[in-house]
Amino acid sequence: LLRKDIPAGLRLPPGPKPLPIIGNVLELGANPHLSLSRMSQRYGDVMQIQIGMRPVVVLSSYETLRQALIKQGDDFAGRPDLYSFRFINDGKSLAFSTDHAGVWRTRRKLALNALRSFSVLEGTSADYSCALEEHICKEADYLVRRLSVVMENCGSFDPFRHIVVSVANVICGMCFGRRYSHDHEELVRLVNLSDEFGRVVGSGNPADFIPLLRFLPSQAMRSFLDINRRFNVFVKRIVAEHYNSFDKNNIRDITDSLIDHCQEKKLDENSNIDISDEKIVGIVNDLFGAGFDTISTALSWSLMYLVAYPGIQEKIQKELDENVGREREVRLSDKPILPYLEAFILEMFRHSSFLPFTIPHCTTKDTVLNGFYIAKDTCVFINQWQINHDPITWKDPSSFSPERFLDAEGMTVNKMEAEKVMVFGMGKRRCIGESIGRSEVFLFLAILLQKLTFHSLPDHELDMTPEYGLTMKHKRCHLRASLRVRAE
C-alpha cells in the first residue's frame, strides 16, 4: 500500500519494521500468541505486522474487538485466501473458505438450523430433555466404563485418546445417526488426528504467506494433506450411503436434512442464491470436524487442570455430592446448582485459551478502525489469548482460580465476568457450536467426576506446556482414575 493510497487524515496501524521478503516472521517465533501480546504492549491493540510480503492486522483488546466484530461486523467478516485453507474440505469449507458474503451467510444459516433441530429440539425419549443430552449421557457412561477397563488392564490411560472417541460419537450421532466402538480402527485413527492439522492452520504459519516455503519438503504439510484426504474419504462414503437410503419421510440426521434441503431448493424457484448440492451437503464435514476436536481438547485440558489442582477436583466432587448425589445421573438442567463446576470450566477456557486466535478474518472492504486505515482483503488476527490474560481485566491472570467467577458466597457465577472470557470468537463469525460445546463440556465433566477421581502418575512431572496451533494441545501423557466408592 502506497502512502498516497491512504485517505487524508488517516494512517496505517503502527507496528514493527518488517525485513525484506520475510517481514516479521522471525519476531513471531514458535508462540505467536505470546510474541504478538508482547508486541501489542508497545504498538497498541490495533497493530500491523507483515508476514512475508503480506500485511496482517492484529486486534487484541475486548473493546476493539467489539468495535471491529460487532459494530463494524460486516467489514471484518471475511476469510483470507490462505494456502492451507484450500485443502480443507476440498476448498469448500464453511469455516475456512473465501465464500462471498451471500453464500457464506446462507450456508451458516443452514448449518445453524441443522444443529438446532438435531440437538436442542425435542429428543427421542422421555428420559432426556433433548437429543444432545441423550447422546452425551450415553457416551459419558461408556467412557466411564471404558476408562475403568483400561485402568484395570493397563494401570493408566492417555486421556485424549479415549475422550476424543466419545466426543466424536456425540457429533456422529447428530450428523450421521450412528456411533462407533472405541476399537473402530478407521475412526480412532481419524479422530486422533496428529496435531499437524492445528499446527498448519494456526494463525501465522509462514507457508500460508510466503509462497516459496510451499516448495520446501515439510513433514507437517504432508501429514496435514493426509489428514484432510482421509477425513474427506470418510465423510464422502457416509454421505453416499445416505443418498442411497434417503427417504424424504424419514429424515434421520443432519446429513439427511441437508440432502432434503438440496431437493427442496430445486422446487423453490424463488431461491436467489445458487449454492451447489456439494456445498450444501459438505456442511456436514465442517460440523463433524469442528464438533469433536475443540470439545475433546477442552475436556483433555480439564483433566490436566483437575490432576494439577486436586483441591479443586475435590471441591467440584463435594458440590456434586451435596447437590446431585452419586445415585442419579447428572443432567443439563443441573447447571444452576453446580456453580463451582461452571466456574472451573470458565477458568479452564480462560487460563488455557487453547484457541489462542480465532480462525483468521479478512476485511471485506476498505475500512477505518479506531482511526487507522485498513484496506480491503487485509488478513486480520484476533488474539483471544491476550484478552483472557489482560492484567487490567483479570487479577493475577496467570494463576488458576475458578473463584474469580463466583460471588463471595460461592453460590452464583458472575455473568458479566463470564462474558469476558473469549473462546468462541465474537460477532458475525462467532462459533455456531457454542451452546453444544458448553453443554458437552459441562455434562461430560459432571458425569466423569461423579463417578471417577483423576490422578497424575506418581514420579511423573505433569507437563502443561501448550503446543501452538489453531487449537493448542498439551503433550500426550498418561493419567490414572479411581472409581469413587458409593456414599454410605
Residues that bind ligand HEM (CB under 6 A): 94-95, 108, 111, 115, 171, 286-287, 290-291, 294-295, 298, 355, 358-359, 423-425, 429, 431-433, 436-437, 441
CB of 23 or CB of 427, closer to ligand HEM:
427
In the complex, the smallest distance separating the C-beta of residue 283 from ligand HEM, rounded to whole angstroms, is: 8
- Closer residue to ligand HEM (CB): 95 or 406: 95
Least separation in angstroms between CB 232 and ligand HEM: 16
Q: Is 431 annotated as a binding residue?
A: yes
| Cβ neighbours of residue 365 closer than 8 Å, sequence gap 6 or more | 75, 376
Q: Which of 122, 157, 154 is nearest to 448 (CA)?
A: 157
- What is the chain's Cα-based Rg? 23
- Cα–Cα distance measured from residue 470 to residue 360, given in angstroms and rounded to the nearest whole number: 10
Least distance to ligand HEM, CB of residue 323, Å: 24
Determine the Cα–Cα distance for residues 436 and 287; give it in Å rounded to an integer. Answer: 11
> How do strand 361-362 and strand 54-59 relate by DSSP bridges?
unpaired
Nearer to ligand HEM, 444 or 480 (CB): 444
State the minimum distance, in angstroms, from the CB of residue 469 to ligand HEM: 13
Q: How far is the CB of 485 from ligand HEM (least distance, A)?
A: 32
Closer CB to ligand HEM, residue 12 or residue 468?
468
Question: What is the rounded distance in angstroms from the CA atom of residue 119 to the CA atom of residue 147?
Answer: 26
- Rounded distance between C-alpha atoms, residue 162 and residue 415, angstroms: 32
> Which helix (DSSP H) or strand (DSSP E) does residue 114 occupy?
helix 101-119
Neighbours of 245 (CB within 10 A): 9
- Are 164 and 288 contacting, i.e. CB atoms less than 8 angstroms apart? no
> What angle in degrees, to the nearest 10, is found between the helix axes of 339-352 and 434-451?
120
**Minimum distance between the CB of residue 33 and ligand HEM, rounded to whole angstroms?**
13
Residue nearest to ligand HEM (CB): 433
**Residue 226 in contact with residue 194, Cβ under 8 Å?**
no
Nearest CB to ligand HEM, comparing residues 1 and 70: 70
Q: For residue 346, give the amino acid letter.
A: L
**Strand, helix or coil at 383?**
strand
Of residues 33 and 429, the one with the C-beta less far from ligand HEM: 429
Tell me the C-alpha distance between 408 and 420, whole Å.
Answer: 19
User: Please, are residues 199 and 220 in contact by the beta-carbon 8 Å criterion?
Assistant: yes
Residue 380 CB, nearest approach to ligand HEM (Å): 10
Task: Pick between residue 47 and residue 436 the one whose CB is nearest to ligand HEM.
Answer: 436
Of 18 and 357, CB closest to ligand HEM: 357
User: How far apart are CB 167 and ligand HEM at their closest, in Å?
Assistant: 9
Contacts 24+ apart (CB under 8 A), 100-103: 101/74, 101/77, 101/364, 102/273, 103/273, 103/275, 103/279
Binding site for heme: what residues are annotated? 431
Binding site: what residues are annotated? 431
